[in-house]
Structure 1
Amino acid sequence: MGAIFNFEEKCGMAITYREINEGDNQELAELIRTVLREFKVDKPGTVYTDPTTDHLSEVFKVEQSVYWIAEEEGKIIGGCGIYPTSGLPEGCAELVKLYTSAAARGRGIGKMLMQKSISSAQQFGYHQIYLESFPELSTAVAMYEKAGFKKLSAPLGQSGHFACNVWMLLIL
């Protein structure tokens, strides 16, 4: 993929959307854990305790995967990716780790990250996108539903995030 995109917001601040790199690992891990603490879902069986959260640039070197970063004035304010999670049906990838900082919310940044990830999944040839979430992340769940994701009654694949209890699927 390798592209960098700039997006001028109404307030004049430029948001840069780019792929993850090794230098992002620590800042991104802290952002993810801060959001999980904020919504009180900082528990075992989530990305909060997943050791790969500290090395996401390595995780997303896997073929058919990508992780998008939203950056403003040199600071990471969000991220989202597509990953071929083990155990998913053929042609299905997972929308993973969509998090935005409190200051970034309500500005369309999460939606843009989700859309870039969905577009990447289509470019990779996936036909379905699965995700896992929590009821506590109700704004995100509503955004997923608006994008066409439908709730499932049970999880798919083997993400290892057994604490998640909202499962959704998008048919592309």
Structure 2
Amino acid sequence: MGTIKIRKIKPEDNQVIAKVIREVLVEMGVPKVGTVFEDEALDMMYETYTSKNAAYFVVEEDGIVIGGAGIARLEHGSSDTCELQKMYFLPIARGKGIGYEMINICLDHAKEQGFTKCYLETMPYMKAARKLYKKVGFKDLDGPVGDTGHFSCQAWMIKDLY
């Protein structure tokens, strides 16, 4: 394993993180409609996550972006609820504890911003991701919260931050 660095997104990361996320979505067989794949924000991640209370972190290995994760207020949700967003890693990043570390960085940021709950949406068949979310304290929900526009995501989870 090379040198791993986690940092906040920079403008020059926009194209590469969009490419990484789309590659992982295709690899995982995620529908292109009703998911992050068609989000306009995907091509302007830096600009999207410079808003109040939001942050996006990328992970590099030897200077190459291999994944990322973000946190932002949940669209059309309670003001005390944030959403863990766009957390995807290339295969070379998996199994190294990076996902666990990234979630905790995002949740720490959420707490600093005053959020008391964190929501996420995923696919039911993304078993490794769901196992990781449960490990850090996320609980399954029976339906969606807020309105992310990701109607193809059929697994919803939430975590109390305090």
Letter in 2 for 1:130: Y
Indicate the residue corresponding to 1:36 in structure 2.
25
The answer to whether the 8 Å contact 1:78/1:101 transfers is yes
Cα distance in 2 for residues equivalent to 1:144 and 1:90? 22
Indicate the residue corresponding to 2:118 in structure 1.
129
SS of the residue 1:164 aligns to: coil
1:167 aligned to 125, 134, 156, which one?
156
The answer to whether the 8 Å contact 2:3/2:61 transfers is yes
Cα distance in 1 for residues equivalent to 2:59 and 2:31? 22
1:20 aligned to 9, 14, 17, which one?
9
Deviation of the 1:136 alpha carbon = 2.4
Deviation of the 1:43 alpha carbon = 1.8
SS of the residue 1:95 aligns to: strand
How many pairs are equivalent?
Answer: 161
After superposition, residues 43-58 of structure 1 pair within 5 angstroms as: 43-58=32-47
Identity within the alignment, %: 38
TM-score normalized by the length of structure 2:
0.96
SS of the residue 1:68 aligns to: strand
Indicate the residue corresponding to 2:130 in structure 1.
141
Unpaired segments of 5 or more residues in structure 1? 1-10
Cα distance in 2 for residues equivalent to 1:41 and 1:136? 10
Indicate the residue corresponding to 2:51 in structure 1.
62
Indicate the residue corresponding to 2:76 in structure 1.
87
TM-score normalized by the length of structure 1:
0.91
The answer to whether the 8 Å contact 2:74/2:119 transfers is no
Cα distance in 1 for residues equivalent to 2:74 and 2:44? 16
Cα distance in 2 for residues equivalent to 1:111 and 1:58? 25
Unpaired segments of 5 or more residues in structure 2? none
SS of the residue 2:118 aligns to: strand
SS of the residue 1:87 aligns to: coil
Cα distance in 1 for residues equivalent to 2:137 and 2:79? 20
Deviation of the 1:130 alpha carbon = 0.3
Give the ranges of 4+ consecutive aligned residues of structure 1 lying more than 4 Å apart after TM superposition: none
**Residue-by-residue CA offset, 1:2-58 (whole Å, 9 max, x unaligned):** xxxxxxxxx4x2211100011001100010011011110042011111121111111
Cα distance in 2 for residues equivalent to 1:136 and 1:41? 10
The answer to whether the 8 Å contact 2:73/2:79 transfers is no
